[in-house]
Copies of this chain bind each other. A is one copy, B any other.
Amino acid sequence: MPRKQLVTLITDFGSNDYYVGVMKGVILGINPEAVIVDVCHHVTSYDVFDAAFTLVQSYRYFPSDTIHLVIVDPGVGTARRPLLARTIDQKFIAPDNGVLSLVYEREENIEVRHITSEHYFLSPISQTFQGRDIFAPCAGWLSKGVEVDKFGEPITDYAKFTPPKAKRVDEQLVKGVALRVDKFGNIVTNISPEDVPQLFTENPLPFRILINQQEVTKLSSTFAAGKPSEVFAIVGSSGYIELCTNRGSAAKTLNATRGMEVGVVIGPAGAPSA
């Protein structure tokens, strides 16, 4: 019996080609009741971390029983395994290249299986588009109600990366990194309020956020609070500190890009810097 079930898509396939459309056709051909939701197809090409971040920021907003299909797969056609992971209320289909790392980190109970049941795949299998030939059909069958244990055996040696963590260097300095730049030019760091609690007390200490040899010294609670072209910090919707400007691009203003070091120096301006 077909089941109505959500299938989300995160890929680096972009929008210029038929790749995403074909995957949808394959899923709907297997389960016409599947409801497919595009989360993002513009993950940076081949960038497993960017996909992992996109996934961890989005999956928990979807209802129970959603299937998340994540195809950023520079190793397509090699021996890297296709995976089916399950938490208490969500399911994930992805290549075994670490793209689920932030889910593994967040979820206490997760079961990961190596998908080996080739009768669920399309045939023949392309060595360059397994999103179409392996991952989409498995998502289709899973959405149709096939039990997870039909797809393959549990494994524990799946690939996992450790995300870059903000690091307390000393009393005055916390070091982090720019995780990504969003569409508006907001720079999302990996520094959370918990990493720099001194900025969030009733009488917060002054601070300087250092990036690309410039400093940001203001913390705001809304984008609109900034003056034109002033860069300020904000606790973003991701839970991390972001650098922003009001109606402009902080990334352009600071000439900053993803991967750049970000330092938070806590205390008055004379304090030692990073």
Contact = CB atoms under 8 A, between A and B. Distances in A.
A78 interface: yes
Contacts of A13: 183
A57 B39 CA distance: 23
Contact of A62 (B29, B45, B66, B184): B29
B42 A15 contact: yes
Contacts of A133: 237
Interface string A195-237: 0000000000000000000000000011111000000001111
Pick the most buried of A21, A45, A127: most chain B CB atoms within 10 A of its CB.
A21
A221 B21 contact: no
26 contacts: A16-B40, A16-B182, A18-B58, A19-B182, A20-B39, A21-B37, A21-B39, A22-B39, A25-B37, A25-B61, A25-B63, A26-B61, A29-B62, A32-B35, A45-B247, A46-B247, A74-B223, A76-B222, A76-B223, A77-B221, A77-B223, A77-B224, A78-B222, A128-B223, A128-B234, A128-B235
Given A21-B40, A25-B66, A28-B37, 8 more contacts: A8-B25, A15-B41, A16-B183, A21-B58, A25-B39, A74-B224, A74-B247, A76-B223
A18 to B, nearest CB: 4
Interface of A: 4, 6, 8, 10, 13-22, 24-26, 28-29, 32, 35-42, 45-46, 54, 57-59, 61-63, 66, 74-78, 126-129, 132-133, 182-184, 221-225, 234-237, 242, 246-247
A126 B237 contact: yes
A206 to B, nearest CB: 21
Nearest to A77: B222
A10 B15 CA distance: 11
B37 A16 contact: no
Please name the 9 residue pairs, one residue from A and one from B, whose CB atoms are nearest each other, closest first: A21-B39, A77-B222, A129-B237, A14-B183, A25-B61, A25-B62, A29-B63, A126-B237, A18-B58
Copies of this chain assembled into the complex: 3
